[in-house]
Structure 1
């Protein structure tokens, strides 16, 4: 199992993602969800609904960890989501940004 490419407090490793996430976190969350095969629109909308946003986020963060073989747990994800909201979202966005897509359509 591996580690995150960017630390939780590595928000400024990519200043553009940091600013977009601070202004429109629902957009970043939707794009992160899309990177793991979920609906960008539905997850972005779920971000705006209390409790549903946490449930959806735990699922998306778990999928990112699974796809990239990153150590972690549901409790650790929940603590990071609740205590460091923007930083956790930026960390996920940086992880999926340059990664080869694990989810997609295969064309022959």
Structure 2
């Protein structure tokens, strides 16, 4: 009997966080003093590292005119981790607290993004 279907690899990403809120507050800079110092002294480097860690082009934050990239990036992180919020909230926070938004996103990615698990799935026989 010939094999009609091969096992396939499926990438599954899970999160241990049940709450749909940011893991840290917008102004929680001091518990992660490394991120705070990096943002204070090398802010563009922090932005590029954060974008790369999220899977975006590392240079995209360098062309962040009128906060467009920051708003889209914050929205992407919210959607990936099912965090409550709205586009208007992202816009207001990005415009009013630009460095704090990037620090919060950096902390969130450090906390939530781990290596996704990969499983081999064997389809059931029909």
TM-score, normalization by structure 2: 0.69
For structure 1, the 5+ residue unaligned runs are none
Corresponding position of 2:45: 27
Please identify which structure carries the higher strand content.
2
Q: Is 2:102 the counterpart of 1:80?
A: no
- Which protein has greater RCO, CA pairs closer than 8 Å, 6+ apart? 2
Paired residue total = 100
Runs of 4+ in 1 over 3 A off after TM superposition: none
**Higher gyration radius (CA):** 2
For structure 2, the 5+ residue unaligned runs are 1-18, 121-126
Please identify which structure carries the higher helix content.
1
Change (3 A) 1:77 1:102: farther
RMSD: 2.1
TM-score, normalization by structure 1: 0.80
